[in-house]
Chains A and B, each alone.
Chain A
């Protein structure tokens, strides 16, 4: 009887439940590591006024590169799960630190990269914006400044792999 249980269980499943099943990972952990490792550089930077009804957005990309000798923010992910953030000529280092550790939120189905300092204190996360296997994989870093418990504004910074 016990041998039949899996078959009975399976037969009771509703057809539409099939759609809700998560398929196997598209790529292995090694492939993910290969895709993520390397230098990611800021492509665009947007500042959203969270107090505005229309979420008024200002493109501040040029602010990061307008001064002679300035460099767009970038971050380098290494295969040993450490990272470095370039600060030379960078107007603002949004990561707060120049090096630390990184990890996927879910090794099989990652949606973001968690960053921590050398003491494993979390310092933020970067969302994986588009399919990593696509032509232009993108990472999105978001930082929100608060007025008490209310959002004042949010920075949305896209990083493309170089």
Chain B
């Protein structure tokens, strides 16, 4: 391990268990020198970000001089498989910090590692430097054609998105505004007979003739079509939306180079 601090897994779901690691031997602060020569510890995590005002049982320290009295609940565990002086603290970040997942991803996690008595109050400090770890959410396995929100209700607004910045096909990358068209087929079901049928606003080679199928480029480079499916597809009374199949092509189509390889079926309703 070449770094002094990291989290595992690398792109964690912070609503699940995460390990926050520190390789004390790699700390750069002079105030950590004593800790480097004491690989037996014990050491404690002292963390203030994304939230320091936690429940009493998870505060960093206690008493009149909390810096000299780290919380036993925040005692770290040694991980000899990763190094002679490597320690981790295991937590579910949203529970530990008492914040939602989005806050953890927005603020990251800041902490240092110290012995139970961190010195101070006239004594020399004993601690690592501050570590500020950005926390990146897990990569979503939703492809490059998807709906936002992920739940589609036929009578509510939904946006079908083409994530052009993530497009692996070189001939489809960096499309300008006005160049992306979506070919969409809605599957509907008669609620009485359960017979299914399709609604296709335009055939694949005709989509550029239907302005409703032109995607709008967003500031982040993605494209979208926002709709209320029931109105967009003119779904008749007595039928319900089952799914939407979507793919994207260029306005001018000469060959398969001008379409994304991805064709996704997006299910309607609660999954």
Contacts and interface: CB of A to CB of B under 8 A. Distances in A.
Contact of A47 (B101, B149, B216, B270): B149
Contacts of A152: 149, 151, 153, 270
Given A147-B270, A152-B270, A51 B150 contact: yes
A109 B10 CA distance: 47
B150 A47 contact: no
Contact of B156 (A59, A62, A145): A145
A58 B105 contact: no
Q: Which range holds the interface residue count of chain A?
A: 20 to 34
B226 A60 contact: yes
18 contacts: A47-B148, A47-B149, A47-B157, A50-B149, A51-B150, A51-B151, A53-B15, A53-B105, A54-B102, A54-B105, A55-B102, A58-B148, A58-B159, A62-B216, A91-B228, A145-B153, A147-B151, A152-B151
Interface of B: 13-15, 100-102, 105, 137-138, 148-151, 153, 156-157, 159, 216, 218, 224, 226-228, 270
A117 interface: no
Contact of A153 (B15, B138, B151, B226): B151
Nearest to B148: A58
Nearest to A146: B270
B224 to A, nearest CB: 7
A54 B11 CA distance: 13
A105 interface: no
A44 B101 CA distance: 24
Specify which of A51, A58, A60 lies most central, judged by the most chain B CB atoms within 10 Å of its CB: A58
Contacts of A59: 218
A54 B148 contact: no
Contacts of A52: 149-150
Nearest to B161: A58
A92 B149 CA distance: 18
A70 to B, nearest CB: 13
Given A50-B149, A55-B100, 13 more contacts: A47-B148, A47-B149, A47-B159, A51-B151, A52-B150, A53-B15, A53-B102, A53-B105, A53-B137, A54-B137, A60-B159, A92-B157, A145-B153
Contacts of B227: 63
Nearest to A53: B101
A66 B270 CA distance: 28
Contacts of A63: 157, 226-227
Query: 5 shortest A-B CB distances, which residue pairs?
Result: A147-B270, A49-B149, A153-B149, A152-B151, A63-B226
Given A50-B149, A53-B137, A53-B138, A148 B270 contact: yes
Contacts of B218: 59
Given A55-B100, A145-B156, A148-B270, A49 B105 contact: no
A63 B216 CA distance: 11
Interface string A38-73: 000000000111111111101110110000000000
B148 A49 contact: yes
A35 B90 CA distance: 52
Contacts of B101: 53-55
Interface in A128-162: 145, 147-148, 152-153, 155
B102 A60 contact: no
Interface in A77-134: 91-92
Contact of A58 (B224, B228, B270): B224
Contacts of B138: 53
Contacts of B270: 147-148, 152
